[in-house]
Structure 1
C-alpha cells in the first residue's frame, strides 16, 4: 500500500508546489515552524497565549514519545531515491527510523493542542499541519504509513495532555447582595478607626479623611492598643451610625467584628499592603468609598469567626478573632509570601506561573504537620480555609466574587498517600493540582482543628497566632454590612 501511494505521488506533475512543500517540510524540522507560530500567538493575551502554551506542551510530549520510544522500537528504512523524482527527494535524508513520522506527530499534536483551548485557531492550523504531514511523503522522507502512525500519535499526545493544562475557570457572575445602610453626608455619624502604622504617612491620612469625611469622628490607635476594644467603644458612642477603618486586613477584621456585633455598617479605606477584603468589596479607591458612604450604598457580606485555644488543661486560654479572608495551618503562608514576592520581582510572570514556582520551592523540603481535622487524623503540608468560595478551584485561589455564599472554602495538601511529595510535584508541573489525590477540597459551615504534636501556628488574615492547641472556624452568613462602590446606585 505504501509503495502504491508513493508511485501515485511520484506521478504528479512538476509545479510550484514542489519547492513550497520542500520549504514547509524543512521549516517544520525541530519544530521551528510551530515555535514561530506559538511566539506569534503569545503576543496576544488570553486564549491565544494559552492555546500556544498548550500546543507546545502537546508537541513536546509527542516528540519525546516518537523519538525516544517508537523510533527505537520500530526500526524501518526510509524511501529510496528511485521511488521519487530527484528534484523532490529530500537531501540529506534523515538517518533515524522512518517509522513513525516525527514531523507529522509534532504538527498534529500542536494543532490539536491549540484547538483544545481555541477551536478557531485549531481549525486555522489544521490545513498547515496536514500539509506538513503530506510533505513528508511528497519529499520522500517517509512512507505514508509512517505519516499515518505519527499523526495518530500526535493526536493521542494532545488528548493525553488535555487535563495537564490548568483550565481557566471563570468565576460565577452574580448580582451583589445589597443591604440597607444609612447615607452619611460629609461623614456625619461615622467614626473612623485609623492605624497610623499602616501604609501611608500619618499626615496624608488625616488630610484624606478631612476631605472625604469632614464631619466624621477620627480615632487614631496608640501603639499596642486593642483594636477590637476601641471599635466596640466607638460603636456604643451616641450619634455613631457606622464605623470606618483605615488600615490593612489585620486592622479591618476587629472593626468588622465590632460592626457585626453592634449591627452597624462598615466603611473600609485601604491602608495596608494588599487590602484583600477592600479589593473584594470594590473599596480600593477612597473617593469611591466616600461617595458610597454619602449615598448609603452597601453590600451584605458573611463574616468568619475563629476561636483558638492555647495551652492545655487548667492553663487553657481562649482567643477570638475575625476572619475576613483566609486562615491556614502549615506551609500556606510561606507559599503566599513567595508567590507575591515573585509577582513583584518578575512582573511578566503570570499568577499561575508564580504560584507553581512558589509551591515547588515551598513544598520541596517541607515537613508535614500532624493534626486532627473534624476529629479525623491527618498529616498535612497545609490546611487552607477561605471565608467564602475562592477561584480558581486549585492550589492558588485568587478571586472571591461572591461575598455572601455562607460557606468555608476548605483545601488541604496531604502527606498521607504513597509518594505524596512526588505526586504533588507532578501535579504542580502539569497543572493538575485540582485533580491530584494529595489535594482535597470541600465546603462547610464550620471546621475544627487540633494539634496532635505540641501546638499549631494558625495564620488568620496574615496575622500569626502561635501555641494553638485547637481551634474552631465558622462563618456567620450575612452578618456584616459594608459600604461599597459595587452596590448599585439608589433610585431617585
Structure 2
C-alpha cells in the first residue's frame, strides 16, 4: 500500500481564482498523494482554525499544502513557519505570483517537487501595523494607488467578476486617484504609491508584486513620487514585463526620476491618506483596513523564513 502524501495536510480554497478555468486537482491528489489529508475550506471557515486543530490532534501534520491564490498561500506560509513544517504550494488563484516565482506553473510540477523532496529556503518579510501582530508576506506590500484599485475591484467583483471588475476599477481609479503623504525618517513625501517587495527585483518596475528570486534577504522598496499624472500612476501598476515594456515605449510609465528605490533589511513609514481617501493597505493581494486615519507600517525581512517544495534551480 502506497504512503505517498503521508503526514501532508492539503487545504483547498475553492473561492480562489473564480475567474479562471482550472482542472480540479482532486483526481491528481487521489492518484499521486493517496495518503494525504485533503480539506476543502467551507464558507466562513478559517484556514488557521483548520490547521491549528490538526496540530492539536494526535496525528500532527509533517507538511502543509495549499491550493489557492496568493492570499491563501501567504497565510498558509505563516502557519507553516509557526509550526515549523515545510510548505507545498499549488497554484489555484488568478495571478499566482509566488507560485510562478518558485517555478510552480501548475499543480503537477508542485506535486513532483514534493515527491522528489526538492526544497528551497524562502526569505519573506513581516509587516506590522503600529503595535499590532505582524503578518508574513511572501511577495510585496503596498500603500497608495494599488490598494485603492483593489478596493474598487472588490466592490464590483460579485457583480462583474474579477477580470471585468478589475477593468472597471482601473478606469475609475484613473479618474479619481489622489496622492497621499508618507513620512519616513522624519521626512514627508507626497506619493502615488509605495511598494515594498521581498528580494531584489527589476529596477525598471514600480509595482513589484511578483518577486524574481526566493532567497535574497532584502527589501526592494519603490517610492513613486507624485510628480506625474494619474494616468502614469495607474500605468505604474503594470505587473507583466511585456505590458510595462509597451507602456514605457509609448511614454506612459512614470519618469525614472519620479521613482525612488531603496534596498533595506528594515523599513518603516507613517501613512496619511488625504480627506475622503481609502484608509487601506495591501499585502500579497489581501486588503487591510487600519484602525485609525493615520497609521504606521513596519517592514522586516526574514532570511530563510520557511521551506517550500519547489524545483531546484538549474
TM-score when normalising by structure 1: 0.50
Question: What secondary structure does 1:404 align onto?
Answer: coil
Aligned with 1:484 (options 307, 310, 314): 310
- Return the match for 2:271 from 421, 428, 451: 451
Matched, 1:466 2:289: yes
Query: Mapping of 1:265-280 within 5 angstroms?
Result: 265-280=86-101
1:371 has 2:182 as partner: yes
Normalized per residue, the structure richer in helix is 1
Q: Give the 3-state SS of the residue equivalent to 1:250 in structure 2.
A: helix
1:390 correspondence with 2:201 = yes
What SS does the aligned partner of 2:74 have?
helix
Question: Secondary structure, in 3 states, of the residue corresponding to 1:474?
Answer: strand
User: 1:277 Cα deviation (Å)?
Assistant: 0.6
Q: Deviations over 1:96-132 (max 9, x none)?
A: xxxxxxxxxxxxxxxxxxxxxxxxxxxxxxxxxxxxx
CA RMSD of aligned residues (A): 3.5
Once the two structures are TM-superposed, the CA of residue 246 in structure 1 deviates from its matched residue by 0.8
**Shift in Å at residue 226 of structure 1?**
2.5
What displacement does 1:265 show? 0.7
* Residue matched to 1:149: none
Q: Is the 8 A contact 1:248 1:271 kept in 2?
A: yes
Alignment of 1:218 with 2:42, yes or no, is: no
One of 87, 98, 109 as aligned partner of 1:288: 109
Q: Deviations over 1:430-457 (max 9, x none)?
A: 4784631x21111111222223358831
Q: Which has the higher contact order (CA 8 A, sep 6+)?
A: 2
**Residue 262 of structure 1: CA displacement?**
2.0
TM-score (norm 2): 0.75
- The answer to whether the 8 Å contact 2:121/2:304 transfers is yes
SS at match of 1:421: coil
2:17/2:92 contact within 8 Å kept: yes
Deviations 1:112-171 (CA, angstroms, capped at 9, x unpaired) = xxxxxxxxxxxxxxxxxxxxxxxxxxxxxxxxxxxxxxxxxxxxxxxxxxxxxxxxxxxx
Equivalent in the alignment of 1:68? none
Match of 1:195 in 2: 13
- Aligned counterparts of 1:334 and 1:290: Cα–Cα separation in 2: 36
CA deviations on 1:304-354 (whole Å, 9 max, x unpaired) are 222224xxxxxxx8354221111110103467999xxxxx89xxxxxxxxx
Query: Size of the alignment, in residue pairs?
Result: 276
| Equivalence map 1:53-452=2 (5 Å) | 186-199=4-17, 204-235=24-55, 237=57, 238-309=59-130, 318-333=132-147, 366-397=177-208, 400-415=211-226, 420-421=227-228, 430=251, 433=254, 435-436=256-257, 438-452=258-272
Task: Give the drift of 1:484.
Answer: 0.6
SS state at 2:112 partner? helix
Q: Distance in 1 between matches of 2:230 and 2:33?
A: 54
Partner Cα distance (1:306, 1:279) in 2: 22
In 2, Cα distance between equivalents of 1:389 and 1:475 = 12
Gaps of 5+ in 1: 1-183, 310-316, 339-343, 346-357
Q: Secondary structure at the match of 2:132?
A: strand
- Offset, 1:406: 0.5
For the structure 1 residues 442 and 214, does the alpha-carbon distance in structure 2 shift closer, same or farther, using more than 3 Å as the test? same
| 1: CA distance, partners of 2:125 / 2:53 | 21
Q: List gaps (5 residues or longer) in structure 2.
A: 154-162, 234-246
Between Structure 1 and Structure 2, which shows a larger proportion of strand residues?
Answer: 2
Distance 2:23 2:172 in 1: 41
Q: Secondary structure at the match of 2:228?
A: helix
Structure with higher Rg: it is 1
Q: Distance in 2 between matches of 1:376 and 1:221?
A: 45
In 2: Cα distance, 1:401 partner to 1:270 partner? 17
